[in-house]
Homo-oligomer: A and B are copies of this chain.
Amino acid sequence: MGVTIKDVAREAGVSTATVSRVINNDNRITPATRQRVLRVVSRLNYKVNTIARSLKSKRSLTVGMVVPEIDNVFFMRVARGVEDHLGEKGYSMIVVNARESRLREEGAVELLLEKQVDGIIVVPSERDGSHLKMIHDAQAPVVLVDRLVEGFQSDAVLVDNEEATFHAMMDLIDAGRRNFGFIGGFREIFTAEERYRGFRRAIEERNVPLNPDHVCFGDYHMESGYDLMKRLMESRVPPETLMVANYFMHIGAIRYLSFYRHRVPPSLFIATFDNMEFSSVSGVPGLSIAQPIDEIGRQAAAMLLRRIEGDSSEWPRIQRLPTNIISHDTA
């Protein structure tokens, strides 16, 4: 590459210390010298080497983020929120894809630690989080997002999945809806379990009948949403009020509907967790329990930066953000 602080110093006839001070906006520098140095900086097109800077300052101004899937809109929306906030504060972000494996998640964290990131945001891939302890060992701040984890204490930002689902269900029940069905995620997934509990609790609270065959679990991906929707819709008495536990299973369900609309009971109503592009295109009435996705990311970033800056109050702090209900009518 090339031009270093030394070159600038020589050209400007000052010491490297002075150049360093100028580029770091140290205020006890004569306007005159500052001008001179800056001119040379731009003439030589000098760019600071942040690697060298980090080695000295022990701060990389970089934050790591580990996600279970990198091409998942939900996680990337969170990442956008994170990046927005970090960008405002002069930090940047390394994203690593754990590909839904605890082992790769561990490798990702190790990599980030070796890269000397100042802190780590992780959306855990699996329920167990004991491997995350190495982040604490490295004394690096960490914030969990979307999911909590067993065997590992940490700050976290997420929503109250159980309460949100519970309240949506109560409203539906109290509005007179019956014949419920549930398309959930594997209960090993933290949010899937919470959402299922909310569903269940409302059913029990109001003592509403529930056909056990109408409760089924998939893997949070589109295909299983399709398959389970198919199974439910093709059962002898299909459910009429469906709670679908996440966005991707919901789009799988919509996909089924788009092919087999004639099989669908006219009274069908679909409630779903998450509200994104496709949440409203099912063509059947429904509602979405919307998470403040961007805000989750921003809050996680904000909390992490506070920890990085040394704030250690109220640890661990679990922040539950509010959801809200969006209803989808059809034309």
Binding site for B on A (CB under 8 A): 1-2, 45, 47-52, 54-55, 58, 60, 62, 70-73, 76-77, 79-80, 83, 87, 92-97, 110-111, 113-116, 137-140, 222, 251, 254-255, 258-261, 277-278, 280-283, 330-331
Closest CB of chain B to A164's CB: distance in Å? 22
Copies in the complex: 2
User: Complex formed: what's the CA distance from A79 to B95 in Å?
Assistant: 10
Find A114's partner among B47, B254, B283 (CB 8 Å cutoff). Answer: B47
User: Complex formed: what's the CA distance from A113 to B3 in Å?
Assistant: 13
By beta carbon, the residue of chain B nearest A116 is B51
A138 touches B47 (CB 8 A): yes
B80 touches A331 (CB 8 A): no
B114 touches A48 (CB 8 A): yes
B92 touches A93 (CB 8 A): no
A138 touches B50 (CB 8 A): no
The answer to whether A97 and B114 touch (CB under 8 A), given A51-B60, A281-B255, is no
User: Complex formed: what's the CA distance from A80 to B96 in Å?
Assistant: 10
Which has the most chain B C-beta neighbours within 10 Å: A76, A137, A331? A76
Closest CB of chain B to A94's CB: distance in Å? 5
Find A93's partner among B73, B95, B110 (CB 8 Å cutoff). Answer: B95
The answer to whether A50 and B115 touch (CB under 8 A), given A95-B95, A251-B278, A331-B259, is yes
User: Complex formed: what's the CA distance from A114 to B55 in Å?
Assistant: 14
